[in-house]
Amino acid sequence: MTDRITRWLAYGIFVLLLAILTLVFYVVWTGVLGPLPPRTYVERDLQRLETMVEEKPQVEQVWRDYLRALIVAGQYSKAHRVVEEGRSVLASATAIVDVEEARLLNSEGNPDEAMAILDAAIESQANLLDEQIAELAARSIRASRASLPGGDTLVDAHILRAQILSTLGRWDEATEAYTEALDLDPVMADVLVARGYAYVESGQADKARKDFERALEFIPGLETAAAGLKEIEQ
């Protein structure tokens, strides 16, 4: 004859088994294990970009967009796999993937490693663009880094570097990095605002004001720029 404790233990096992079966039934019932339509904007974006990467693997920007979407969705493991895949597919033009890997590492809380990758990417991309400029100059064609394909990758790299430096509180270096980006593309209102706030943090109110005002010239009424000006006045 079984005693009371043994009986209760058996009941407990039975209840747990039932709970496990209920959970499995529920997961199967939702159909989440099969191919699903997207349930959110982020999922739809991921599905769309994954399809684009499959269809146009040679287009660098598609890898960039896909990696950014994965980082936004917090799917870091998959993003690492896509980084490797992107490197193997793009072969010679991997700076765009390097920048996104740095973004990924920074999102994972590893800014030092991110900075190391970014510095290398900036140097290689700048050299690549300079070589192209020299080749064009030999054919009497004038070009700048920003005007060449791949120039936007260099801009992205400088902006990301500035953002990482800002989160580390290294404001002077951050403003320098923002300046590098703005030298390449001077009409980015959001970057002007970001540099403005970096100037505020480093105690250079006059430079900050100029950046906020310039941003407002590009986008009248830009809330972040107006808020920055208000902050300086206070």
Partner 1 sequence: MTTAIVDRESGTGRTRMVLIAILVLLFLLLMVLAIFAYRLLQPAGKPDAESLPPGIEWVRSIYGYGPSEAEQFYRPEDADIAPDGTIWGVDSAHTRILGFNPDGSFKVMISTGGRADQPGRMQLVSGIATDEDGNVFACDFGREKVISFSEEGEFLLEWDVPLPIECDVRGDTVAVCTAYGVALFDRKGTPITKFGTRGSREEQFDGPHGIALGEDGTVYVSDTENNRVKAYTQDGDLLWIRGVKRSEAAGETEDESPFQIPAGMTVDDNGRVVLVDPFQFQILVLDPNNAGEVVGEYGDFGTEDGRFVYPTGIGYDASRDWFVVADTTNDRLQVVRIPGSSSNPFSAIRRLLTGPWWICSIPLILLLIAFLVAASSRRRRSGEESAQLDARSPQGLGVSTEGKGESTQAV
Which residues here bind partner 1, judged by CB under 8 A? 2-3, 5-6, 9-13, 15-20, 22-27, 29-33, 35-44, 46-48, 72-75
Q: Estimate to the nearest angstrom the gap between the alpha carbon of 43 and the chain centroid.
A: 17
CA distance readout (Å), 131 to 32, 40, 59, 206: 50, 44, 21, 38
Whichever of 14 and 58 has its CB closer to partner 1, that residue is 14
**How many CA atoms does the CB half-sphere of 10 hold within 13 Å?**
6
In angstroms, give the least distance from the CB of 65 to partner 1: 14
In angstroms, give the least distance from the CB of 14 to partner 1: 8
Class of residue 153 by CB neighbours under 10 A (exposed 0-12, middle 13-18, buried 19+): buried
Whichever of 48 and 209 has its CB closer to partner 1, that residue is 48
In angstroms, give the least distance from the CB of 104 to partner 1: 16
In angstroms, give the least distance from the CB of 54 to partner 1: 12
Whichever of 75 and 110 has its CB closer to partner 1, that residue is 75
In angstroms, give the least distance from the CB of 107 to partner 1: 14
CB 62 within 8 A of CB 56: yes
CB 63 within 8 A of CB 55: no
Q: Return the sign of the alpha-carbon dihedral for residues 73, 116, 152, 150.
A: negative
Tokens (6 digits) for 53: 């990467």
Amino acid identity, residue 206?
A: D
In angstroms, give the least distance from the CB of 171 to partner 1: 28
Whichever of 73 and 226 has its CB closer to partner 1, that residue is 73
Whichever of 40 and 234 has its CB closer to partner 1, that residue is 40
CB 100 within 8 A of CB 68: yes
Whichever of 32 and 187 has its CB closer to partner 1, that residue is 32
CA distance readout (Å), 92 to 5, 60, 147: 69, 11, 20
